[in-house]
Homo-oligomer: A and B are copies of this chain.
């Protein structure tokens, strides 16, 4: 929808006139998937609050929006799309913005392909509504097992704690794999301090089921009783309708559009069904995040209507939060991991630095840990990760700006960042962290 609206905007400003038809197999448009855990927690009053633009608003803008219509195949040569109802639509330009549904593993599914009762993912508004019903029906102290410790897993763990449930998080690895181990350890410690049971290295192998309802989860080496199981193990691009099209795809089916969203002659794509270009190492990576989707969609829409806006990639920035009771952690990262840096041929130097978010004597001061990595030879900044209290997380934006410009660890250490006692230390902690790495090189 970002692409559609930008195309209309560009058309109004002298661009190519377009008649836009949007097919969506779902029932809602333009909602914030990222907000669903907060809706489930009760921070957000209703699912409607998460809807940025209703179907009516899209239609009033001149978009022929058809909800409940699923595109099942595409003929690129004939320039037609066929729907599940057997209708065939022809097009001049095709935009594939099919997103990436949550992965539901076989162990969660009945013979008919639907999940056992009490088991679900957190992806669509309908998912959110289903969880709110399940939460309401579950008694006090119900046992919730969250499978996966990525953003969604950690956010849902918070949600379930806020709802008063007993929470276990199972992760096949060492926790948040978007962080280096010395940083993900801090997140694990925060989860545990807040009362979550965290089981690392637990790859789920199956469920215990009573009737149609989940009663437990087991993995190689353990099991837990469970009233509810949240599956949060990732998403997969919905590009099945392009099977056999000959378009270049990543191993997981993601498309690789250029900076204008172009995949092939008259075929465009953006959003969660695509990989994005990471500027730091010029690599294709699958990062199904709303920020990339919104920017790439906008560039696509403008380009489709004859403009030249471009999405010049990303630097792998992300943020989340885990908060319950006395525990409050902002968790953020940007740039490469150590393994990615090594794979790209760098000789990385990395250190964790501990400090405070405000000057130590102020009541606002909270602990913050910052991991900084730079290249030993070029001194180029390669990555920054943060775990800390209020005000910690968005500090990665400053590092992201340095990565965007290809700057050095010295740039980060010496640039002019804002200081006053409620906000920072005189040497901003991000700069102390960069300076320590600079001195180590």
Known A-B contacts A35-B359, A43-B363, A418-B393; A321 and B423 likewise in contact (beta carbons under 8 Å): yes
> Which residues of chain A in 37-66 are interfacial with respect to chain B, using CB atoms and an 8 Å cutoff?
38, 43-45, 49-50
A405 to B44 Cα, complex, angstroms? 39
A414 at interface, CB cutoff 8 A: yes
A295 at interface, CB cutoff 8 A: yes
Residue on B nearest A411 in the bound complex, by CB: B404
A222 to B333 Cα, complex, angstroms? 55
- 8 Å CB contact of A35 from B316, B318, B362, B424: B362
Kindly provide the distance from the CB of A3 to the nearest chain B CB, expressed in whole angstroms.
Answer: 14
A161 at interface, CB cutoff 8 A: no
* Contact call B321/A422, Cβ cutoff below 8 A: yes
Q: Which of A319, A398, A427: most chain B Cβ within 10 A?
A: A398
Residues of B within 8 A of A316 (CB): 416
A419 at interface, CB cutoff 8 A: yes
* Contact call B401/A418, Cβ cutoff below 8 A: no
A402 at interface, CB cutoff 8 A: yes
* Contact call B32/A426, Cβ cutoff below 8 A: yes
A334 at interface, CB cutoff 8 A: yes
How many residues of A are counted as interface, with CB atoms below 8 angstroms from the partner's CB atoms? 64
* Contact call B426/A318, Cβ cutoff below 8 A: no
> Which residues of chain A in 382-441 are interfacial with respect to chain B, using CB atoms and an 8 Å cutoff?
390-391, 393-398, 400-402, 404-405, 407, 411-412, 414-424, 426-428
* Contact call B401/A402, Cβ cutoff below 8 A: yes
Residues of B within 8 A of A295 (CB): 414, 427
- Count the copies: 2
Kindly provide the distance from the CB of A347 to the nearest chain B CB, expressed in whole angstroms.
Answer: 22
A334 to B398 Cα, complex, angstroms? 13
* Contact call A401/B421, Cβ cutoff below 8 A: no
A284 to B235 Cα, complex, angstroms? 53
Kindly provide the distance from the CB of A357 to the nearest chain B CB, expressed in whole angstroms.
Answer: 9
A291 at interface, CB cutoff 8 A: yes
Question: Residues 303-318 of chain A: 1 if any B CB is under 8 Å from the residue's CB, otherwise 0?
Answer: 0000000011111111
A240 at interface, CB cutoff 8 A: no
Residue on B nearest A310 in the bound complex, by CB: B414
A316 to B419 Cα, complex, angstroms? 11
* Contact call A423/B394, Cβ cutoff below 8 A: yes
Known A-B contacts A319-B423, A426-B290, A426-B294; A332 and B418 likewise in contact (beta carbons under 8 Å): yes
Residue on B nearest A386 in the bound complex, by CB: B418
Residues of B within 8 A of A290 (CB): 419, 426
A320 at interface, CB cutoff 8 A: yes
* Contact call A394/B391, Cβ cutoff below 8 A: yes
Residues of B within 8 A of A422 (CB): 38, 321
Kindly provide the distance from the CB of A397 to the nearest chain B CB, expressed in whole angstroms.
Answer: 4
A289 at interface, CB cutoff 8 A: yes
Kindly provide the distance from the CB of A413 to the nearest chain B CB, expressed in whole angstroms.
Answer: 9
Residues of B within 8 A of A405 (CB): 401-402, 405, 407, 411
A242 at interface, CB cutoff 8 A: no
Known A-B contacts A361-B44, A391-B394, A404-B411; A289 and B419 likewise in contact (beta carbons under 8 Å): yes
A34 at interface, CB cutoff 8 A: yes
Residues of B within 8 A of A330 (CB): 423
* Contact call A361/B32, Cβ cutoff below 8 A: yes
Give me 28 A-to-B residue pairs in the complex whose CB atoms sit less than 8 angstroms apart, sorted by A's number.
A32-B421, A34-B420, A34-B426, A35-B421, A43-B362, A43-B363, A45-B361, A291-B419, A292-B416, A294-B427, A295-B414, A295-B427, A312-B414, A316-B416, A318-B420, A319-B419, A334-B418, A390-B390, A391-B394, A393-B423, A394-B418, A398-B398, A398-B400, A398-B401, A400-B416, A401-B401, A401-B417, A404-B415
Q: State the 3 A-B residue pairs at the shortest beta-carbon distance, nearest first.
A: A401-B401, A319-B418, A405-B405
- Apart from the given pairs A317-B418, A402-B405, 14 other A-B contacts in the complex at a CB distance below 8 Å: A32-B361, A38-B362, A44-B362, A45-B361, A289-B419, A295-B414, A319-B424, A332-B418, A391-B391, A391-B394, A397-B398, A401-B401, A401-B405, A404-B415
